[in-house]
Structure 1
Amino acid sequence: MNNKILGIVLIVAGVALAFWGYNIYDSASSQVTRALSGDTPIEAWAGMVGGAILALVGLTRLK
């Protein structure tokens, strides 16, 4: 039972973190930076990749 609750919490946190990372990636300042230099903020990558990893770990806890 505890593993399922932990899995659900990890999935919710992972989705929220990925959504936050995408919001940073899609922000106006990030778009200007990408247009001028081609760089993507590290916070965006960390949020999206970290969120995906958390969600995958959460999915493995549900089984």
Structure 2
Amino acid sequence: MTKAISLALIVGGIVLLYFGGQAFNSVSSDVARFFTGSPSNKAIMLIVGGVVATLAGITGMALSGRKR
């Protein structure tokens, strides 16, 4: 994995985490939490996607430096 792709994954993951946090605190998530006890699926998927993308980017950055 090249450093550019890894950096793009990190930035994209951070953006997804931001939007996931916004969705988690939204009115629709509050309504879903009231009836189901858990936040909306959109908020959960954005946060999980952000974590996965950020970890993949960090792993790619760490591995691309070792191959030399």
Cα distance in 2 between the residues matched to 1:13 and 1:61: 14
Paired letter, 1:7: S
Runs of 4+ residues deviating >3 angstroms: none
Match of 2:19 in 1: 20
CA root-mean-square deviation: 1.5
Cα distance in 2 between the residues matched to 1:55 and 1:37: 29
Name the % identity: 32
Q: Structure 2 length as normaliser, TM-score? A: 0.79
Q: Look at both structures and tell me which one has the larger radius of gyration over its CA atoms.
A: 2
Q: Gaps (5+ residues) in structure 2? A: 63-68
